[in-house]
Amino acid sequence: MSPDGPLERVSTGHLPDDATVTTLLQAAYALHRDVRDGHVATYIPQLARADPGWCAASVVSVTGRSFDVGDSDERFSIQSVSKPFVLALVIEALGADRARELLGANATGLPFDSVTAVEVHDHRTMNAMVNAGAIAASSLLQEVARVSPGTSVPDTEAAWASARDGLSAFAGRRLEVDDDVYACESETNLRNRGIAHLLRSYGRIHCEPEVAVDLYTRQCSLAVDVHDLGVMAATLADGGVNPVTGERVVSDGTCARVLAAMATAGLYELSGDWLWEVGLPGKSGVSGAVLTVAPGKGGLAAWSPPLDAAGNSVRGQLVTRSLSRALGLNVFASNPDPHDVPP
């Protein structure tokens, strides 16, 4: 079956055997790796240096099976793909209801860095997948640190340690900041600083605006590879347990709320198109990563720097769409139960 063929394969409740996954992953990669659409992000100088030919993909099952293809050893900054995982840490610390009250759960229908969205929506932050909500989530990291063992009086560094350690637990290895990316973004993040101060004027940020933006910038500057993202996605797919390390990172209830937020706004104003084509919660980042979760089955990650106009990886979306269809992962696809079909 062609990876871009009709929706012939419907979810079986688990990923196929290793040989089938390997074959379909390689086919999806080969089909799309030479697509020339899109442009590498240039508003962050470090991202502008990326090779537009880079492309990689990873599949990790909830049993810990992993499959990688392409430039899987290349590391890049995680950027906005960090947002679901910081949201997960905030939900764990504050509870789902309080997190939704403070951060929101509805889509803006506007670009990820929209100032207009803050002004026109009463909730202001809207959701933790766009920059306003993500900066507000970062402003709550001291509350995350407060519930962490061994932390008595959380400060900015304790808040950052909670974020780094939490995302590292999702990845199954210690993640480190790319200092060059962090320095570069710190010099060019004036729009995010403006959003943070605007949120403060509405009482929707929970520490000093400059501190919140710094925490957000650091989390976006963590260096990962496509396999790391596959493991992180698989941890969300596995109800919060990292299938490689066996560590419980967050609760299954937290995962459910995070996946809802990803489905709502993970690909910004194109999230509806994404669900139409792929049928899975996803999250993109301007370094070219696309992370996708098939609940109960596994995680998909694709990375290629050229982006569409909304800031989503062109090849990453195509590879993920092909894999979702070929592996039967679309959560909206089903076959009729033969027992319910009238004679």
- The model carries a pTM of 0.91
What residue spans of the chain are helical by DSSP H? 18-32, 45-48, 83-94, 96-103, 116-120, 131-138, 141-146, 156-171, 179-188, 190-201, 209-220, 226-237, 252-265, 271-277, 314-327
Residue 112 has pLDDT above 60, yes or no: no
- Domain residue limits at 297: 18-79+222-332
Phi (first) and psi of residue 247, to 5 degrees: -80, 135
Comparing CA positions, the residue from 281, 257, 286, 269 lying closest to residue 330 is: 281
The alpha carbon torsion through 259, 263, 267, 270 (nearest 10 deg) reads 180
- Give pLDDT tens digits for 146-155: 877 766 667 8
- Asked whether residue 30 falls in the same domain as residue 109, the answer is no
- Asked whether residue 227 falls in the same domain as residue 308, the answer is yes
Q: Is residue 127 part of a domain?
A: yes
- Give pLDDT tens digits for 5-16: 443 454 557 899
Can you give the pLDDT at residue 207?
94
Q: How far apart are CA 71 and CA 226, in angstroms?
A: 8
Q: Is residue 13 part of a domain?
A: no
Average pLDDT of the chain is 90
CATH code of the domain containing 106: 3.40.710.10
- Asked whether residue 289 falls in the same domain as residue 318, the answer is yes
Q: Is residue 12 part of a domain?
A: no
Question: What is the DSSP annotation of 126-167?
Answer: --TTSHHHHHHHHTTHHHHHHTSTT-SS--HHHHHHHHHHHH
Residue found under tokens 């010099």:
187
Q: Is residue 343 part of a domain?
A: no
Of 188, 220, 252, the residue at which a domain comes to its end is 220
Band (178; pLDDT cuts 50, 70, 90)? very high
- Give pLDDT tens digits for 45-78: 999 999 999 999 999 999 999 999 999 999 999 9
* Letter string b/e over residues 108-118, b meaning 16 or more CB atoms within 10 A of that residue's CB: bebbbbbeebb
- Asked whether residue 209 falls in the same domain as residue 93, the answer is yes
**How far lies 146's CA from each of 102, 156, 160, 254, in Å?**
17, 11, 12, 18
- Asked whether residue 98 falls in the same domain as residue 215, the answer is yes
- Asked whether residue 169 falls in the same domain as residue 270, the answer is no
Domain count, the chain: 2
**Mean pLDDT (whole number) for 202-212:** 94
Radius of gyration of the chain from its Cα atoms, rounded to whole angstroms: 19
- Asked whether residue 209 falls in the same domain as residue 241, the answer is no
The winner for highest mean pLDDT among 3-17, 236-250, 257-271 is 236-250
- Asked whether residue 90 falls in the same domain as residue 198, the answer is yes
- Asked whether residue 74 falls in the same domain as residue 121, the answer is no
